Amino acid sequence: MKNILKISLLGFLFISSAMLSSCSKSGADAPQKTVEVFSVKTTTVQVAPMAATFKATGTLEGIREANVNSETQGRILRVIANNGSRIGQGSTLVVVDNELKAIALQQAQAQRLTAEASLEKAKIDLGRTQELQKSSAVTKSQLELADLQVKSAEAMLKAAQSGESLARRQLADATVKAPFSGVVAMRYVNQGELLSQNTKVATIVDDSKMKLRINIGELDVPLVKIGDKVNVTVDAQGGKQIEGRIATISSKADMARAYIVEVEIPNNDRSLKSGMFARAEIQREAAHEVPTVPSAALIVNGERTQVYVNDNGIARLKAVKIGASTPERAEITEGLNAGDVVVIFGQSQLVDGSKLKIQN
């Protein structure tokens, strides 16, 4: 019996030893879990001069724009200006049938000549009557009558002159002209149409300069003044930047407590067109030294802005607050210090705690 127990015990120890050896070998041979490393580019938070700016958007307009309406009626005989035509001040846009108006002017001129002759005759008669009155050949009543005839002839002449001026103006109105130099943005009538009084004929735009209307809130308007420089960016011109100047600031706010500010922009090459969308950036205060990062480092999610910081090779996601900004850099007002290292390329693949490999 003792021999049987001894053999069983030896067998148990052999099996246990084999199992432990197997487990030990299995653990040694198991593959180790690898940690993924992400390649990124980084830069340090730098102190640089930044200026607080105010940004707004608006639509470009010509420095002068006007709808030209007809002041007469009649059939259109000729159309001179087309859409896009460049015209000078006083240039003809359309010509309306003026035959009856020309006849009316001739009649008014004839009436004026008749009134002038009547006045001349009345003055001669008055002079003769005055001479006769000296020798008591005429009565006082006759002298007064001659004087009244002169005054009546003068009034008739004034009426005739007014009628002639009116007829001349009506004849001139049959030729619709441009009020100032510019370009025909839109023509609304065609040859052969019957034109009515006060019909819109064309829209003229003076594009020698442009203006941009923007709204500025009541807290910002005290910080700007007429003549201040404004950086204007026009999307339709491939992000072209132009320097403008504040030309006017309204003295009364609208219902939203915003003030209308007009920015005047040069347009020497006439490349800017009325109706183009534009962005304005106005510097509100002098530049000062502040911590800044490249705009590429910022991760914007709604109202939250974050960056990835390199913490000894580990990515740490940090919330930050930004102040003044340009398309290239942004001021950091909270969350980072000068010298901190932030990721500027490769953030999309990271999560908080990712291991980093820095690219040169």
CATH class for the region spanning 40-50+287-358: mainly beta
The confidence score (pLDDT) of residue 6 equals 45
Count Cβ atoms within 10 A of the Cβ of residue 341 and give its class: 0-12 exposed, 13-18 middle, 19 or more buried.
Answer: middle
Read off the pLDDT band of 292 (50, 70, 90).
very high
The confidence score (pLDDT) of residue 143 equals 86
Residues in the chain: 360
Q: What are the C-alpha distances in Å from 152 to residues 113, 117, 124, 140, 231?
A: 15, 13, 14, 18, 68
Q: What are the C-alpha distances in Å from 170 to residues 74, 139, 152, 197?
A: 11, 47, 27, 11
The confidence score (pLDDT) of residue 8 equals 47
The string of pLDDT tens digits covering residues 161-206 is: 999 999 999 999 999 999 999 999 999 999 999 999 999 999 999 9
The confidence score (pLDDT) of residue 70 equals 94
The answer to whether the CB of 19 falls within 8 A of the CB of 266 is no
Lowest mean pLDDT among 23-27, 194-198, 285-289: 23-27
Count Cβ atoms within 10 A of the Cβ of residue 212 and give its class: 0-12 exposed, 13-18 middle, 19 or more buried.
Answer: buried
pLDDT at residue 61 above 50?
A: yes
Query: What average pLDDT does range 244-266 have in this prediction?
Result: 93
CATH no. for 55-62+207-283: 2.40.30.170
Looking at per-residue pLDDT, the higher value among 132 and 105 belongs to: 105
Query: What average pLDDT does range 207-232 have in this prediction?
Result: 91
pLDDT at residue 287 above 80?
A: no
Specify the 3-state DSSP secondary structure of 237: helix
Looking at per-residue pLDDT, the higher value among 264 and 254 belongs to: 264
Lowest mean pLDDT among 17-26, 165-174, 216-225, 303-312: 17-26
pLDDT at residue 336 above 60?
A: yes
Read off the pLDDT band of 103 (50, 70, 90).
very high
The angle at the Cα of 248, spanning 245 to 249, to the nearest 5 degrees, equals 115
User: What percent of the chain is predicted at pLDDT more than 70?
Assistant: 89
Q: Would you tell me which CATH number, out of the four given (2.60.40, 1.10.287, 1.20.120, 1.10.357), belongs to the domain 99-172?
A: 1.10.287
Q: Is the pTM of this model over 0.95?
A: no
The confidence score (pLDDT) of residue 318 equals 93
- The two three-digit tokens of residue 140, written as one number: 């006082």
How many helices and strands (H and E) does the chain possess? 3, 21
pLDDT at residue 13 above 80?
A: no
DSSP bridge pairs for 266: 209
The confidence score (pLDDT) of residue 82 equals 92
The confidence score (pLDDT) of residue 29 equals 52
The confidence score (pLDDT) of residue 221 equals 86
Lowest mean pLDDT among 65-69, 249-253, 283-287: 283-287
Question: What does pLDDT average to over the chain?
Answer: 87
* Domain locations in the chain as residue ranges: 40-50+287-358, 55-62+207-283, 99-172
Specify the 3-state DSSP secondary structure of 340: coil
Read off the pLDDT band of 256 (50, 70, 90).
confident
The confidence score (pLDDT) of residue 34 equals 62
Read off the pLDDT band of 44 (50, 70, 90).
very high
CA separation for the pair 170, 107 (Å, rounded): 13
